[in-house]
Amino acid sequence: MTVRVPAKVNVQLAVGAARPDGFHDLANVFLAVSLFDEVTVTPADELTVTCSGPDADQVPLDRTNLAARAAQLLAARAGRPDDAVHIHIAKNIPVAGGMAGGSADGAGALLACDILWGLNTPTEDLLDICAELGSDVPFSLIGGAALGTGRGEVLTPVEAGSFHWVFAVAEGGLSTPAVFREFDRLAEGRDVAAPQASPALLAALASGDADALASTLANDLQPAALSLRPDLERTLSTGVEAGALASLVSGSGPTTAFLVRDEEAAAKVAAALEASGTCRATRTTTSPAPGAALLP
Ligand code: C5P
């Protein structure tokens, strides 16, 4: 049973003040992109996780892995006597990169185990389990494009035309809680507005007009990510100088995203980024991509 799950970029990430529970209210426009992890589950005597791919050594292989937690939660909810399953993650999404790679593995394992165990859990219930696993996990399950409110887990699908993207994978990762803490530190003594989705951005996203989308991209976590990783400024400017319509930090970073007009521009921007030495690797993608789906 192999499920393919997409990475995401946030074309808008509006962040409110810290809530009493430590989370932040968001107006978060998620867009799934064609960069995928594949999660394979097979019957086993106990719950085990393996991982392959260039960043495999950075992925925890114990029961705290989001994919393993998804299997445990689903088994408990379904009243199964055990959660014994082997989960293999073929990892292509950057680890701790701001592209919801861990969330993708959680959503993928959930769907794969649901099918393997013949549970037929209704999508609403799967989405509940996803929200318990993490704020970005419900979106990994549905994919496409959606507005996330609350802490990001309350989803309303939105329309999206097709766009081309280049991603620059940074050296090392950034901890999402650390980036939110830095956001709080930078906001100290200032009023933080309630987060709101931008009507102009949603219209641009729906229209498929890359120039319009380029002028509306916004990530409130970007100053915090750049404060922790000032080197990313050079990556951002390199992509724009090579012809990207716009650049931004993907989610909490440190992956950076470049919106480009077409495939040809994507190849040019990717080549310039690779030659610049300001990133570890690049990935060229399109959007929107479908959510978690069983491979034949
Ligand atoms: O929900 P998830 O476990 O993925 O969130 C990871 C961390 O990111 C949280 O513990 C919190 O520090 C931060 N976060 C936040 N506000 C959100 C989502 C995440 O502060 N809406």
Residue range 203-246, pLDDT digits in tens:
999 999 999 999 999 999 999 999 999 999 999 999 999 999 99
User: Reduced to 3 states, what is the DSSP secondary structure of residue 61?
Assistant: coil
Q: Among candidates 85, 48, 73, which has minimal Cα distance to 127?
A: 73
Nearest-angstrom CA–CA distance, 290 and 142 = 7
What b/e sequence results for 119-131 when a residue is b if at least 16 CB atoms lie within 10 Å of its CB, and e otherwise?
Answer: bebeeeebbbbbb
**Euclidean distance between the first and final Cα of the chain, in Å?**
9
Q: What is the per-residue pLDDT for 133?
A: 98
Instruction: Fill in the amino acid letter for 10.
Output: N
Rounded Cα distance, 195 and 153, in Å: 14
- What amino acid positions are annotated as catalytic residues? 8, 136
Point out the ligand 1 atom lying closest to the alpha carbon of residue 177. 12
pTM higher than 0.85: yes
pLDDT level of residue 17 (50, 70, 90 thresholds):
very high
Which atom of ligand 1 is closest in space to residue 152's alpha carbon?
A: 21
CA 95 to chain CA centroid, nearest Å: 10
* Cα–ligand 1 centroid distance for 134 (angstroms): 7
Ligand 1: residues whose CB is within 6 Å?
22-24, 26, 134-136, 151-152, 176-177, 180
Atom of ligand 1 nearest to the CA of 137: 4
Residues with Cβ within 8 Å of residue 277, at least 6 apart in sequence: none
Residue 3 in contact with residue 294, Cβ under 8 Å? yes
- Closest ligand 1 atom to residue 134 Cα is 1
Neighbours of 25 (CB within 10 A): 18
Residue nearest to atom 13 of ligand 1 (CA): 177
pLDDT the model gives residue 59: 97
pLDDT digits (tens, 9 = 90+) for 186-207: 999 999 999 999 999 999 999 9
Protein residue whose Cα sits closest to atom 14 of ligand 1: 23
SS (H, E, C) 172-198: CCCCHHHHHHHHHHHHCCCCCCCCCCC
What pLDDT digit, counting tens, does each position of 64-75 carry? 999 999 999 999
Closest by Cα among 182, 188, 184, 247 to 219: 247
21 CA distance to ligand 1 centroid (A)?
Answer: 10
Residue to mutate, 13, 15, 24, 182, ligand 1, most ligand atoms under 8 Å from C-beta = 24
The token duo for 120 is 């037929």
Nearest to 32 by CA among 208, 163, 219, 203: 163
The H or E element spanning position 205 is: helix 199-207
Q: Which atom of ligand 1 is nearest to the CA of 176?
A: 8
If one residue of 8, 99, 136, 151 were mutated to test the ligand 1 pocket, choosing by the most ligand atoms within 8 A of its CB, it would be 151
**Partner residues linked to 146 by β-bridges:** 30, 157
Distance 178 CA to ligand 1 centre (A): 10
- Expressed in angstroms and rounded, the spacing between residue 193 Cα and the centre of ligand 1 is 19
Please count the residues of the chain. 296
- Identify the bridge partners of residue 143 per DSSP, sorted by sequence position: 290
* Closest C-alpha to 101, from 73, 126, 154, 65: 65
For strands 218-219 and 2-18, give the pairing.
Answer: parallel
Token pair in block for residue 116? 């393997």
Q: Confidence band (pLDDT; 50, 70, 90) for 50?
A: very high
Please give the C-alpha separations between residue 87 and each of 56, 102, 141, in angstroms, as whole numbers. Answer: 14, 13, 17
What the block records as the tokens of 39 is: 């999660």
CA gap 39, 109 in Å, rounded:
6
How much is the pLDDT for 113?
98
Q: What distance in angstroms lies between residue 281's CA and the mean position of ligand 1's atoms? A: 26
| Cα 271 to ligand 1 centroid, rounded to whole Å | 34
| Cross-strand bridge partners of residue 221 | none
- pLDDT computed for residue 224 by the predictor: 98
